[in-house]
Structure 1
Amino acid sequence: MNHTPDLKAAAIKGGVATDQRHDSAHKHVSGTAVYIDDMPEPAGTLHGCLGLADIAHGTITAMDLSAVRVAPGVVAVLTGADVPGENDISPTGRHDEPILTDTLVQFHGQPIFAVIAETREAARRACRLAKVEYDALPFVTDIGALDPLNDKLVTPPLTLKRGDAADAIAAAPRRVSGRMRIGGQDHFYLEGHIALAIPGEDQDVTVYSSTQHPSEVQHMVSHALGVPSHAVTVEIRRMGGGFGGKETQSNQFAAIAAIAAKKLNRAVKIRPDRDDDMTATGKRHDFLVDYEVGFDDEGNILGVDLVYAARCGFSSDLSGPVTDRALFHCDNAYFWPAVKAVSAPLYTNTVSNTAFRGFGGPQGMIGAERVIDEVAFAVGKDPLEIRKLNFYGPNGDKNGDRNVTPYHQTVEDNIVHRIVAELEESADYARRRRQIAAFNANSRFIKRGLALTPVKFGISFTATHYNQAGALVHVYTDGSVHLNHGGTEMGQGLYVKVAQVVAEEFQIDIDQVKITATTTGKVPNTSATAASSGSDLNGMAAQNAARQIKDRLVDFAADKFQVAADQIVFLPNRVRIGNQEIAFADLVKMAYFARIQLSAAGFYKTPKIHWDRDKGEGHPFYYFAYGASCSEVSVDTLTGEYVVERTDILHETGRSLNRAIDLGQIEGGFIQGMGWLTTEELWWDDKGRLRTHAPSTYKIPLASDRPKIFNVTLADWPEAFEPTIHRSKAVGEPPFMLGMSVFHALSDAVASVADHRICPRLDAPATPERVLMAMERLKGEVAGVSKR
C-alpha cells in the first residue's frame, strides 16, 4: 500500500501535524481495550432481552406473558405500561417511536416487551415463551410500490430550486429520464448495541451506553423515567464502531436498562445478539431516484429535475435531515444551471432507518453520478469528460456564474479541478483506458472497467444548533493535563486528535495529556459525534479551554517576573520568560501557589452557517471537503463475479492534524463505501421480515475484497479555506463516497458488452447477480437492435 512520506519530526512528542498512532491501537490489537461488556459487573447485575413482534403491521389483541414471568431466572417483565415517564424515544420530538409498543405493531421485529433476568441466557430463553395474538393489517416494505409525491410520509419533504428546471429541460437539445434504485446498508459494528444502567440514590442513575450522542441518551432516559436531566449521567469511553447508527439507536436500550434498574434497584445490562440487533435497529436509507435531465450535444447539462424517495420505516427518527442532506448533495461536484430537487421520506412497515456515515449525502451523490453517466452515454463520450465539463467553476470564483449550489450557497473553496487533474495523471487514466479497451476487444469472458469519480462534501450539521461543542481542561500542579470534551471515540481517532491540539497549545508531550471518557457529568448539552465535525468542533472547544489557562499563566508570569506578556513564549515542555526558561510544570506549580485558576471550560460554535428550510436557501456548510478515486475492476461475464484490481485515491484534509489517522479513515471509508455499493444487500421477504440479519446472510467486504493495488495519497497543498482547527479539514464521512469509483468501474465493464452504446443503468448494490443480469439485458438490447 503506497502512502505519502512521513512528516518532519515535531519539537514536542505528539503535537498537531504529526503521525500519532491511535491512543488505543495497542489495546485494540491486544484485546485490553475496555468496552462496556468488558467492564466488571456490579454485584447482582441483571440482564435484559427484548421481545420482538413477529408481524409487519397490525394491532396486538392479546399478549400472554405469564409463562415468561415464571420462567427460570426471570425477575421482571416490562411492557409499555411500565414506563414511568414518557413512552417515546423520538429524537425529533414527533412522539412517533415508543420504547415498547403495546398496541400497534408497525414493523417485524419491533420491541413489544422486555425480560429482565438473572442471566442473559435466561432472559433470551424466556422471551420465546410469550404468546402474542395480532389483528394483522396491510403492510408495505418496498418503496417501489409507493407514489413518492402522494403516499404517506414520516416527516415533511424538502424542495430545492434554482432557476426553472422544467423550462430548461424542455428547451434543451437533448433529454433523458430514468430511475435508479440505491440500496440500504447495515452498520455491522464489531461491538453491537449495549447499555449498562446502575441505579443511584434518589432519582439518580448512571448509564454506560455505546452511543455517539451521550446528551441525547441522557435526555431520553430522563424523559422515560420522568426525572430531570441532572439525575441521569451517561458515560462512554469507546465504541467498537458507530458510523451514525449509535446516534439515536442507543436510546432504546439505554432507556429500558434504566427503567429496569430503577424499578428493581439493581444494575441492568442489555446486549442484544447480532440477529436481534440487526432486526430491531435502523440502517442506511434505501432510495429510489427519479431523474430527468436536459443537455446539449457536447454534454453540458442545462437542467435537472430530481425526486429522491427514501425508505424511512415506521417513524421519523432522523429521516428528515437525512433526506434533506441527500438533496444537499444531489449536485456532488457539478453545477446544475437550473435544478429542482424534491425529497420524499416515505413511511414503510420496516425498522425506522437512521443516520449512517454520510447521512444521505452518498445517496444524493450517486444519483448525481447517474445523471452524468446518462449524459455521457447519450453523447458518446467518456464519463470523466462529462464530469469535468460540468464541474463547478474553478477556484470558486465569486464573480463567476457556475458556483451556486441548488440550496443557494456559493462554493468558494472549489479545488475539485486540481484534485481530479492530479489523480488523472498519477493514476495514468488515459493510457489505462486505452489498454482496457484493447483488453476487452480480445477477451471473450473477462471484461474490465475503469472509472474516476470526484467527491465534494459539505461539512457541518444541517441542524444549525448542533454546530457547537464544549470541553473541560484541568492542569494539575505537576504539569500533567486532564482533558474531557463532548466528542465520542468510535475508533476514528478523535480522542488522540483533540489531545494533540491541547499538547500543541501548552507545548507539552502528548503523554502528559490524559484522555478521559466522555460523560454528561463533565461537559453538558453536547452534540452528537457525527457530520464529520468531531475534530472541528471539539478540537476548537479544547483549544479555547487551553488558551484560557495559557492566558492566565502568561498574566501571572508577566506580573511575577515583571516582563511584558509578549516576552513569554511556550517552548517544548518549558516556558521562556524574558531571558530565562523554566519547566512548564514549575510555572504551573508557581501559579497554583499564587491561587491562579488552572481549570477552564471551553466552548466553540461554528460561524457563518445558517439555513432557512422553508425557503430552501442558506449557507448550511462551513466548508467543503474534496477528493477523487480511480478504480479498475475485472468482471466474469459468465457469473457476474468481479475483482477490484486497483484503486488510486487522492483526498485532501487541509493541514492534517494527524496524517496516520486520516489515512486510516480514508482507507476504511473507501472500503465501507465500496461494500455499500457492491455486496451489502438488505432483503425483506413477502411477510415483511428482514432476512439478511446475520453475518451468514449479509456480506460486508472482506480483507480479500480490497483492491489488489491500493494507492492512497493525501493532497498536501491545500489548507482549509476557513479558519478551522489548525486549518485542518474533516475526514470522517467524505472518503466514504470514494467507493463510487468501484461502482462506476463495474458499470463501465458492464457497458463494454454493448460496446459502450447503452447506459447500463446499474442499480446498487451491484451484487454479482445484478451485474450478470445487467450484462444479459444489454446483450439482449443489442441483439434486438441488430434484428431490427
Structure 2
Amino acid sequence: MRSLIGLPARRAGSDNASPAHDSAVGHVTGRASYIDDLTEPSGLLHLAIGLSSRASAGLGRLALDAVRRAPGVVEVLTAADIPGHNEVGAVYPGDPLLAEGEVRYAGQALFAVVATSLRAARQAVALASVEYVDRIPSLDPVEAVRQGLTVLPEHVQCRATPAPLDRTGVLADDNGTSEQRHAGPEGDWRQALEAAPHHVEGEQFIGGQEHFYLEGQIALAEPWDDDGLRILTSSQHPSEVQKLVAEVLGLPLHRIVAEVRRMGGGFGGKESQAAALGALAALAAWRTGRAVKFRMPRETDMRFTGKRHPFHNRYRIGFDDDGLIHGAEIELIGDCGHSPDLSEGVVDRAMFHADNAYYLGSARVTGHRAMTHTASNTAFRGFGGPQGMMPIENALDDIARRLGLDPLDVRKRNLYAPGRDETHYGQRIEQHLIQSLVEQLERDSDYRTRRQQIRQYNAASPVVKRGLALTPVKFGISFTAAHLNQAGALVRIYTDGSVLANHGGTEMGQGLHTKVCQVVARELGLPLELVRISATRTDKVPNTSPTAASSGADLNAMAAREAALTLRSRLYAFAAERHALAPDSLALADGELRATTLEGESFRLDWAALVQQAYMARVALFAEGHYSTPKIGYDKRAARGRPFYYFAYGAAVSEVEIDSLSGEYRVVRADILHDVGESLNPAIDLGQVEGGYIQGLGWLTSEELKWNAEGQLTTVNPSTYKIPAFDDAPIDFRVALLEGHPNSEVTIYRSKAVGEPPFMLAISAWAALRDAISSIGDYRLNPRLDTPATPERVLFACQAMREIDMAKTPRVAAQVQT
C-alpha cells in the first residue's frame, strides 16, 4: 500500500476486508453523477437569490419591478409569497428563509428570482434596489458576551443591560451560558486552583473554517406524483429537508420526498444549512408548477452559509512540581453568528472535549454562545470538539516550559489512567487505551532521538528552526442529542439473488455505502458485487438522523445488519423445514447455503436457488432494521451523565521547520497512530485519517476567514481563502491503524467511528510550530500563537520572542502577545 503522498504506510487487515469505495472509479473518472450532472427535466427553471449587503439593519422597501421585467424572469419571490412558515432553523427558530422586516448578516437572502436560465436569474438579481435602516452590528463575540448578546436555546435575545460578570469574566446568570463542574480529590475547583503550587493562565483565539466542499450547495425540486414534490438535495440530513420544505409550504410530510444519492463533500456544512436551498427550490416549483434548480456559485455559497465556529478561549490551570494538573478553569466563547442553528450542541461538545485526553482533577468548564451579526455558524467536522481541545493543549505546553520539561512528559503524566478516569462531566473512561497508544507512537516515531537532534540543530541554526510535538486525541462518539442516536434500514432480496439496501445515512465520499454493503454481504454470506445500495430517500427509510457525529456506520450499518439477520433467519427457517436440515447447522457462506441434514449428511444449495425456492414458497424477501445506541444519557441541568457511548483515540507526532525571518514553514514529517477498533474497511479508514489530518492542518495553519468593519466576508473564493494543497501535506507522512484493540462496547463488529476523530490529530502541527518558535528563547517561553497560524502570525511570534529581555522575565510562563 502507498500512503497519501506515495510513501509506505501500514494497513491493518487483509485486502479482502478493504474493497474499494463503491464510487471510486466514478469519482476519479468523473462519471459519478451529482445533482448538477443529471439530465435536466423538461422546462427546468433556475433560481438565484439577492443577498443583504448589511450586517444589521431594518429592511425597508424592496424595489423589484425591474427584476420582474428582466428577460427570462418567470417569478420573483419574497417572504410574503411563503404559504407556510418563513423559518428553516434546524433546532430553534431564528433562520427565516427570506428576510422579513430586518436583516441580521451580510449575505442573508432577501428575495429569489426564478428564470429560464441561471444567467438570466443572476443578471436579474443585480437589478434590485434595497432600502436599509442601518444599525450598529455586533461583530466582537467577547464583547457580545459581556453585553449579554447570546443565542439562547429558545430564541435570539439581545439584552438591554449587560449581565454581571464574576472575576473570571464569566457571566453570572445567562441562558446562553452552560457550565460543567467536577470535584476531584483536591476538593472543588476553586480550592484545587488556590492550593496548587503553580499556575498558568492564558487566552487564545481559534479561527473558523469554510467547509469548501467540492460540490457547492445545490437542490433541485420538481412536482411529483400528482400532488407532491421531490427534492434532490445535497444534504447530510434529508429528513430535515423534507420537514422544513413541508413546513414552508404548509404541507404534510408524506407529500414531500427528499433524495440524496451522493454529495461532493459535506463536512457538516450540509447538515442543517442545505435545507434552505431545498425549501427555496421547492417554493419556486410549487408556485410555477415546473422543476427548479438552485445552484450556488462559490462566492454566494461562502457569503450565505455558516462556517466552523471561531472560539475565544481562556484558561487557568493549577499544577504541581511534576506538571500534574490539580485543578482547571476553562472558559470557551463560541462565535455562533446571528442565530442558534446548531450552536447549542457545538458549544456543548466543545465543553465535553475541554479535557481532550487528560484528567483535569477538580475543574470548571464554562461555555458561552455569543451572538454576532454574521452568517450563522454551523456543524463542521468535530462539531466544536477541536476548538474545545485547544486550550488544554496550549496550557500543557505552558506548564512544560515553566518547569523545563519536555511537553510530551507533561502530557503523558496527565493522560487518563485507572484511578484518574472520571471526566469533568461525570462520564468514566472504561477503555484505557490512550497511555499505551501514545507510548507506542513515541517508540515507533523515534520521538526521543528526534527531540535531541532537533535541539542540537536549533542551537546551531540562528534562522531556520525546527519543532516537534506529540499530541493525543480522545473523542466521544454519539450525538449529544440522544434522540438522534437511531437509524433505520431496508434490505430487499430479488429473485435472481441480488440484494438492494437502503438506509438513513448519506454518502459524501466517506465510504458509508461501501461499509454498509460489506455488512449486508457478510451477514448473508454473499460476494460484495451482489449487494448494492441505492439513493437515500425519505419515502424508503423515514425519520432519518443526520449523517454526522461520526455515527454513520455505527448507526446505519447496525440497522442494515438487523434487517439482514431477519432475512437470514427467515431463509434458515424455510430451508430447515423444506430440506429437513438440522437447525443449528445452517450457514450462509461464499454464495451458498451449507448445512447438515437430520440424517447427518452434508447439504449445499446455491444462493440463487435458495432465493427462488423461498419466493415460490411465499417467504417475504424484504425486511427492515432499526438500531438505537444503548447506555447513553446526559442530564443537562445537573451537567452530569454519559453523553458518549465510547471514545475513539489517536495520537500524532508532527515535525515542522520554520524560517524565523519570514514566517514561512513546512511540515517535514507526520507520524500517526489511530484507533478504529476492528476496522470495517482499513483502506477507507486510512483515507479518513489522512484526510482528517490534512483538513485539520488547513484549519490550524492556512484557512483564514476575514470580515471588513461592516461585517462583510471578504474571503469568498479560492483566490482569498487558502485550503491545503498537495504541497502542504507532510513531506514524510506515516499513518497506521492501531491493531489488536477491538471496541470494548458492542458496535458493528467492534469497530469505531473514524470520520471526525482524526481531524484533531493536526493539533500536533500547531504545537510543533509553537515548539519551534519557543526554541528562539531557549525553550523557556511559549509564544502566543492564535490560529490559523499563518506565516504572518508565525513571523510576529518569532519577532516578539526576540524582543523579550529574558533577564527581565520573572515568569517563564508569560504569554508573548502577537
Same fold (TM over 0.5): yes
Change (3 A) 1:136 1:390: same
Task: Give the CA deviation at 1:2.
Answer: 2.3
Change (3 A) 1:9 1:668: closer
Matched, 1:106 2:119: no
Rounded to whole Å, the distance in 2 between the matches of 1:150 and 1:291 is 21
| Alignment check: 8 A CA contact 2:476 2:646 kept | yes
Task: Give the CA deviation at 1:140.
Answer: 1.9
Matched, 1:290 2:290: no
Matched, 1:186 2:202: no
Rounded to whole Å, the distance in 2 between the matches of 1:302 and 1:70 is 70
| Alignment check: 8 A CA contact 2:181 2:424 kept | yes
Report Cα offsets for 1:331-356 as digits up to 9, x if no partner: 00000110101110100000000000
Matched, 1:313 2:331: no
| Alignment check: 8 A CA contact 2:242 2:257 kept | yes
Rounded to whole Å, the distance in 1 between the matches of 2:712 and 2:411 is 40
The 3-state SS of whatever aligns with 1:341 is strand
2:534 is aligned to 516
Correspondent of 1:768 among 791, 797, 812: 791
2:278 is aligned to 254
Q: Equivalences for 1:251-650 in 2 at 5 Å?
A: 251-393=275-417, 397=418, 400=419, 402-578=420-596, 579-650=602-673
1:658 is aligned to 681
The 3-state SS of whatever aligns with 1:313 is coil
Matched, 1:689 2:712: yes
Report Cα offsets for 1:560-582 as digits up to 9, x if no partner: 11222112111211111311101
Report Cα offsets for 1:133-156 as digits up to 9, x if no partner: 101001122324333584433443
| Alignment check: 8 A CA contact 1:288 1:310 kept | yes
Rounded to whole Å, the distance in 2 between the matches of 1:721 and 1:786 is 49
Task: Give the CA deviation at 1:767.
Answer: 0.5
| Alignment check: 8 A CA contact 1:569 1:576 kept | yes
Report Cα offsets for 1:434-468 as digits up to 9, x if no partner: 10011111112100000000000000000000000
Rounded to whole Å, the distance in 1 between the matches of 2:67 and 2:482 is 46
1:95 is aligned to 93
After superposing the two structures, state which structure 1 stretch, 188-197 or 140-149, moved more: 140-149
The 3-state SS of whatever aligns with 2:231 is strand
Task: Give the CA deviation at 1:9.
Answer: 5.7
Name the Cα RMSD after superposition. 1.3
Correspondent of 1:153 among 139, 151, 156: 151
Kindly provide the amino acid, as one letter, of the partner of residue 244 in structure 2. Answer: M
Task: Give the CA deviation at 1:5.
Answer: 4.3
Kindly provide the amino acid, as one letter, of the partner of residue 261 in structure 2. Answer: R
| Alignment check: 8 A CA contact 2:576 2:582 kept | yes
Correspondent of 1:702 among 701, 722, 725: 725
Rounded to whole Å, the distance in 1 between the matches of 2:544 and 2:337 is 27
Rounded to whole Å, the distance in 2 between the matches of 1:23 and 1:716 is 25
After superposing the two structures, state which structure 1 stretch, 264-273 or 750-759, moved more: 750-759
The 3-state SS of whatever aligns with 2:67 is helix
Report Cα offsets for 1:611-656 as digits up to 9, x if no partner: 1111111111110000000010000111101010000000011110
Task: Give the CA deviation at 1:202.
Answer: 4.9
1:126 is aligned to 124
Rounded to whole Å, the distance in 1 between the matches of 2:74 and 2:8 is 57
The 3-state SS of whatever aligns with 1:523 is coil
Report Cα offsets for 1:5-49 as digits up to 9, x if no partner: 464465xxxxxxx01111101001111000000011101100001
Matched, 1:53 2:67: no
Rounded to whole Å, the distance in 1 between the matches of 2:181 and 2:698 is 32
Report Cα offsets for 1:726-763 as digits up to 9, x if no partner: 11110000000001111000010111111111121211
The 3-state SS of whatever aligns with 1:88 is coil
| Alignment check: 8 A CA contact 1:149 1:344 kept | no
Rounded to whole Å, the distance in 2 between the matches of 1:254 and 1:472 is 25
Rounded to whole Å, the distance in 1 between the matches of 2:466 and 2:257 is 55
Runs of 4+ in 1 over 4 A off after TM superposition: none
The 3-state SS of whatever aligns with 1:263 is helix
| Alignment check: 8 A CA contact 1:148 1:309 kept | no
TM norm structure 1: 0.97
1:13 is aligned to none
2:599 is aligned to none
1:14 is aligned to none
| Alignment check: 8 A CA contact 1:557 1:577 kept | no
2:161 is aligned to none
2:30 is aligned to 31
Matched, 1:717 2:743: no
Kindly provide the amino acid, as one letter, of the partner of residue 570 in structure 1. Answer: L
Rounded to whole Å, the distance in 2 between the matches of 1:130 and 1:189 is 30
Kindly provide the amino acid, as one letter, of the partner of residue 137 in structure 1. Answer: R
Correspondent of 2:262 among 238, 242, 263: 238
| Alignment check: 8 A CA contact 1:633 1:746 kept | yes
| Alignment check: 8 A CA contact 1:384 1:452 kept | yes
Change (3 A) 1:744 1:787: closer
Correspondent of 1:746 among 748, 754, 769: 769
| Alignment check: 8 A CA contact 1:633 1:645 kept | yes
After superposing the two structures, state which structure 1 stretch, 145-154 or 247-256, moved more: 145-154
Structure 2: runs of 5+ lacking an equivalent: 1-6, 154-175, 597-601, 812-818
2:141 is aligned to 143
TM norm structure 2: 0.93
| Alignment check: 8 A CA contact 2:492 2:501 kept | yes
Rounded to whole Å, the distance in 2 between the matches of 1:203 and 1:339 is 57
Correspondent of 1:727 among 750, 759, 763: 750
Report Cα offsets for 1:124-180 as digits up to 9, x if no partner: 111111100101001122324333584433443221111121111111111122111
Matched, 1:66 2:65: yes
Rounded to whole Å, the distance in 2 between the matches of 1:710 and 1:494 is 25
| Alignment check: 8 A CA contact 2:12 2:739 kept | no
Report Cα offsets for 1:168-196 as digits up to 9, x if no partner: 11111111221111000000010010000
Identity of aligned residues (%): 51
The 3-state SS of whatever aligns with 1:146 is helix
1:782 is aligned to 805
Rounded to whole Å, the distance in 2 between the matches of 1:779 and 1:327 is 35
Structure 1: runs of 5+ lacking an equivalent: 11-17
Kindly provide the amino acid, as one letter, of the partner of residue 9 in structure 2. Answer: H
The 3-state SS of whatever aligns with 1:26 is helix
Rounded to whole Å, the distance in 2 between the matches of 1:490 and 1:97 is 25
Rounded to whole Å, the distance in 1 between the matches of 2:638 and 2:142 is 29
How many residues get paired? 774
| Alignment check: 8 A CA contact 1:454 1:626 kept | yes
Kindly provide the amino acid, as one letter, of the partner of residue 131 in structure 1. Answer: S
After superposing the two structures, state which structure 1 stretch, 561-570 or 42-51, moved more: 561-570
| Alignment check: 8 A CA contact 1:196 1:257 kept | yes
The 3-state SS of whatever aligns with 1:277 is helix
Change (3 A) 1:9 1:581: farther
Report Cα offsets for 1:507-543 as digits up to 9, x if no partner: 1011000121100010000000000000010000000
2:85 is aligned to 86
Rounded to whole Å, the distance in 1 between the matches of 2:39 and 2:552 is 29
The 3-state SS of whatever aligns with 1:284 is coil
| Alignment check: 8 A CA contact 1:153 1:344 kept | no
The 3-state SS of whatever aligns with 1:303 is strand
